[in-house]
Amino acid sequence: VPRYEVLKQSGVDRYERLVNKMKNMNRLLVAIVLIVSAVKGIPVSGFDEIDLRQLQITKVCEGCNLTESNLSEARLSGATLIGSNLSLAKLTQVDLRHADLWGANLMKADLRGSNLSNANFSFSSLRECDLAFANMFETDLGVANLRGANLYFAELEGANLHKANLRDANLHGADLSSANLKDAILEGAFFCQTKMPWGEDNSDCAE
């Protein structure tokens, strides 16, 4: 056998061994991720594809895992998402009018410019959620957690915020002039051009 053929075959063998070694390492890494995820209860892919598809087709998805899903500009008026997990989801300009999200988790979700009028968010978590320019006309936010949420120029006329937690929320330009704020927590909230039931509050505006 010519020497170059021997060298060629030797190189091929080394290459195949390297490829097999890399494949085994990848399998090991995947196994580790699956084991850690199972132990900690963390979804591997962020959201459940079946849950997402179910919501898109039926508009009904109770207790679903939609973490980090992209539903921007989705038409979900009247949808049922009771107890679902939408944390870190992208929901910019989504239509959730009259939707039921009782007890849902929307922590750090992006809801800028969304239409949430007449929706039910009571007992839900909207902590550190971005709700800038959102339409929340007559939205039910009773006992909801909005701590650290961004409500920059959000429309909250007629909204129910009874016992809602608005601690450290950004209320710059928000309209709460006819909102129900009974027993709501407002400590640390930012007020500037904020329309409150007692008038415009500019206590935090820069001079």
The pLDDT assigned to 206 comes to: 85
Answer yes or no: do 81 and 183 share one domain: yes
Per-residue pLDDT at 23: 54
> Phi and psi (nearest 5°) for 70?
-110, 105
- pLDDT for the residue 127: 97
Residue pair 179/160 in contact by the 8 Å Cβ criterion = yes
The reply to whether 18 and 116 lie within a common domain is no
- What residues contact 147, with CB distance under 8 A and at least 6 apart? 127, 128, 165, 166, 167, 168, 169
Is 49 a member of any domain?
Answer: no
Q: Which parts of the chain sit beneath pLDDT 70?
A: 1-16, 18-45, 207
Residue 67 and residue 3 in one domain: no
Per-residue pLDDT reduced to its tens digit, 61-102? 999 999 999 999 999 999 999 999 999 999 999 999 999 999
pLDDT at res. 19 = 55
Task: Say whether 23 sits in a helix, a strand or coil.
Answer: helix
pLDDT at residue number 193? 97
Q: Mean pLDDT in the chain?
A: 87
Residues 81 and 171 in one domain: yes
Q: Measuring CA to CA, which residue among 152, 155, 153 is closest to residue 141?
A: 155
Whether residues 135 and 70 share a domain: the answer is: yes
pLDDT of residue 134: 98
Q: Residue 177's pLDDT is what?
A: 97
The model carries a pTM of 0.77
The domain tally of the chain equals 2
Residues 144 and 206 in one domain: yes
3-state secondary structure of 142: coil
